[in-house]
Amino acid sequence: MAGRRPYRPRLDGETLRAFQTRLLRWFRKHGRDLPWRKTRDPYKILVSEVMLQQTQVDRVRGYYERFLREYPTVRDLAMAHPARVREAWEGLGYYARARNLHAAARDVARRHDGSFPRRLAEVMALPGVGRYTAGAVLSFAYGEPAPVLDTNVRRLLSRVFVRRRPASRAQFDRRLWALAENTIPARHAWAFNQALMDLGATVCTARGPNCGICPMRSICAYYGRTSGTHTHFAEDEP
């Protein structure tokens, strides 16, 4: 049986360029100052991404810095006793994350000689690492144009680009991943992906999005539907 063909979103070139340019310009002025953005160490980025799963940014800040003081390198974490790792994680909850992070560090130390892999499939093979987390590590550590699709990015991309949502959740997810991948400017992957998350988290929020200050409002499908002022759409398929 033939494999399913990759979905290719129909993106208007002018709209895509406007989206990229406006997003990067907005990020230069309004990007959040977060401690894990000051490193390109894939281990530290993995720690932050695992902590941010199901936990708010403000709560993670202090835990991230304390955890890295205890385990500053992937080898330090790999050699740690599980009970000590749990103790360092105490208060963040969802302790399966700590177990998976510990197991991932051991995999990196044993199977990759302490060096993080740079291929998507190899990063995703680490315990507890899915497509989003793997993309974040590749993009934020190595500048690779790997898509990141967290809750905030999903909401932003679907509002800006999707005119009619497919009935199937799987089909919708496939389209969003394709949008995330095909909108990244290759030379600015780090800033672009960080900007997607920030705009989604602070402006294009789930409830009460602040469309009035959003740099995307003149090209946004959601804004067009709710204000009646916009007619450009990237997606026009059932």
Active site positions, annotated? 49
Burial class (CB in 10 A: 0-12, 13-18, 19+), 209: buried
Q: In the block, which residue shows the tokens 């490193």?
A: 39
- Give me 101's structure tokens: 């992070």
Q: Are 146 and 120 in contact (CB under 8 A)?
A: yes
How far is residue 221's CA from residue 176's CA, in Å, rounded to a whole number?
Answer: 14
Q: Whose CA is closest to 147, among 14, 9, 17?
A: 9
C-alpha 116/C-alpha 207 separation (Å) is 38
Burial class (CB in 10 A: 0-12, 13-18, 19+), 18: middle
Residue 113 near residue 88 (C-beta atoms within 8 A)? no
CA–CA distance from 191 to each of 28, 194, 202 (Å)? 9, 5, 16
